[in-house]
Amino acid sequence: MKSMVPPFRIKVVEPAKVTTREERWQALKDANMNVFLLDAEDCYIDLLTDSGTGAMSTRQWAALMLGDESYAGSRSFKKFEETIKTITGIKHVLPTHQGRAAENILATIVKPGHVIPNNSHFDTTRANIEFVGGKALNLLCEEGLDMGSEAPFKGNMDLEKLEACIEEYGAEQIPFCMITVTNNTGGGQPVSMENIRAVKAILAQHDIPLIIDACRFAENAFFIHEREEGYQDKTLLEIAQEMFSYADGATMSCKKDGMANIGGFLICNDDAWAEHFRNALILREGFPTYGGLAGRDLEVIAVGLMEALDYDYQAYRHSCVEYIAEKLDEMGVPYLRPVGGHAIYLDAKAFLQHIPQSQYPGIGLVNALYIEGGVRGVELGSVMFGSKDEQGNEIPSELELVRLAIPRRVYTQSHFDYLVQVIGEVWKNRFVVCGYKMTKEPPFLRHFTCHFEAVEAARRVIPLRVRKTGS
């Protein structure tokens, strides 16, 4: 077992509340058994997301003080712009307050009936496209759909499906095609350089621009460095530069590989698009040299984007997920393989085989992890992605996953050892974990605010465990 080697020391610490099992049980009951409704301070290890939850470096904190808060033409914007141009080579840079704001502005060129292919759309990307009447298509490669496949680039786009899509809808209906690196919705799996190059070649024949959803571009660059032939002697910056050289634009959430707590951007090469986007930006976010951010945020991001491309940082980052994955392998805990860049995706269907999909095994697992050890994960299964037929009956989602996303530079190996222990305990006692029914369901994005209740049989089991094992 290789230890992780963090390329940093800890200078400031944030207290984390240690709770007892009884307190967690009560907190979850008060939150109507939905971990989204918990107070964050009641979560000892919060793995809800890797977005905006990272720790900044001393260089970023120092940069924060340099923020130029001028309304127009600030020095901080120049640094932000220059850094992004160095990494991407793309001409126009528009800051936004986060990734979905960039998507929202990009979607202003989508018209009803347009089709936007992607390896897999993230939910906000899909929502922004569908909101303006576009159709968001996922064209993920076959290996990406196979939970057990150990293929190195399971985030790749299926090239045949892309060609078929252009044939079916016609290039004039496709204002741009996207590719998401890494593919969050598909388990944080990487996309190979070969695939990005091939996608671009197909699109170029039809004059369709390629937009990269670049949230985790540096993690993807690291995967290419480790797994793709010909990239071992290149720096992560050089790999990123090549990735973006195939793109006509990109959307970015700097809450991921910008190593910042807030921020994003939209970039493009086309002058007419840039003009249009700038006008949309002014309406939605602010003047084009701050776009929804403070000058200090721009400074922090300019430093963070480069820190994300540090090889030692990425090696450490990937060793965190690999460390957890190896321990899960030892215990036989099922998860989506091979492990992705920013998260472990537990396979709740295989983990809790006694819970039918109609009783949300993903929620069963999320809640059990919380009660057992104050670990907050998120269900990516039938609650988040399930749909309904015309009679209102639930159609379960294909996969029932629980994502444990790892915030950047926040938790230590000891935290991960604790996490593994918690997962191990739940795994050992999995047959007493119960299913849930929904008792309150909002009409949209129900996972955020719905209420759950344990199904009858299990309601008797869990309190017993609470009394028996104590904290």
The site for ligand F0G (CB under 6 A) is made up of 49, 51, 98-100, 122, 124-125, 180, 184, 213, 215, 253, 255, 264
In the complex, least distance from residue 336 CB atom to ligand F0G, rounded to whole angstroms: 15
Residue nearer to ligand F0G on the CB measure, 143 or 213: 213
Buried b (16+ CB within 10 A) or exposed e, 310-335: beebbebbbbbbbbbbebbeeeebbb
* Residue 215 or 366 with smaller CB distance to ligand F0G: 215
Give the pair of three-digit tokens for residue 238. 């050089």
Closest CA to 131 of 168, 172, 103, 156: 103
In the bound state with ligand F0G, the residue whose beta carbon lies nearer, of 126 and 225, is 126
| Alpha-carbon gap, residue 156 to 140, rounded angstroms | 6
Residue 317: name the closest of 424, 219, 387 by CA.
219
How far apart are the C-alpha atoms of 225 and 218, rounded to whole Å? 10
Considering the complex, state which of residue 381 and residue 435 has its C-beta at the smaller distance from ligand F0G: 381
Measured from the CB of residue 254, what is the shortest distance to ligand F0G in angstroms? Answer: 8
> Strand runs (DSSP E) across 200-283, as ranges?
210-213, 249-253, 264-268
User: Minimal distance in Å, beta carbon 389 to ligand F0G?
Assistant: 28
Residue type, 203: L
Q: Map residue 126 onto helix, strand or coil.
A: helix
CB of 129 to ligand F0G, least distance (A): 12
The nearer residue to ligand F0G, 21 or 342, going by C-beta atoms, is 342
Residue whose C-beta lies closest to ligand F0G: 99
- Nearer to ligand F0G (CB atom), residue 247 or residue 458: 247
Least distance from ligand F0G to the Cβ atom of residue 103, Å = 7
Compute the least distance from the CB of residue 464 to ligand F0G, in Å: 34
Q: Which residue has the tokens 């951010």?
A: 293
HSE at residue 355, side-chain half, CA atoms within 13 A, is 30
Nearer to ligand F0G, 335 or 345 (CB): 345
Burial of 460 (0-12, 13-18, 19+ CB in 10 A): exposed
Write down the least CB distance from residue 206 to ligand F0G, Å. Answer: 25
- Shortest gap between Cβ of 185 and ligand F0G (angstroms)? 7
Tell me the C-alpha to C-alpha distance, in Å, between residue 433 and each of 46, 256, 393, 437. Answer: 21, 33, 25, 14
Rg of the chain's alpha carbons, rounded to an integer? 22
Length of the chain: 471
- Helices 361-373 and 413-428, packing angle to 10 deg: 120
CB of 281 to ligand F0G, least distance (A): 15
Cα(338)–Cα(319) distance, integer angstroms: 13
Residue 19 or 49 having the CB closest to ligand F0G = 49
Cβ-based nearer residue to ligand F0G, 106 or 423: 106
Residue 180: CB minimum distance to ligand F0G, A: 5
Minimum separation from the CB atom of position 390 to ligand F0G (A): 31
Q: Decide whether 180 or 359 has the Cβ nearer to ligand F0G.
A: 180
Pairs from 90-93 (Cβ < 8 Å, separation ≥ 24): 90/244, 90/247, 90/248, 90/249, 90/250, 90/267, 90/268, 90/269, 91/267, 91/268, 91/269, 91/271, 91/274, 92/267, 92/268, 92/269, 92/271, 92/273, 92/274, 92/277, 92/278, 93/265, 93/267
Identity of the residue, 67 or 99, whose beta carbon is nearer to ligand F0G in the bound complex: 99
Other beta carbons within 10 angstroms of residue 446's beta carbon come to 15
Neighbours of 39 (CB within 10 A): 10
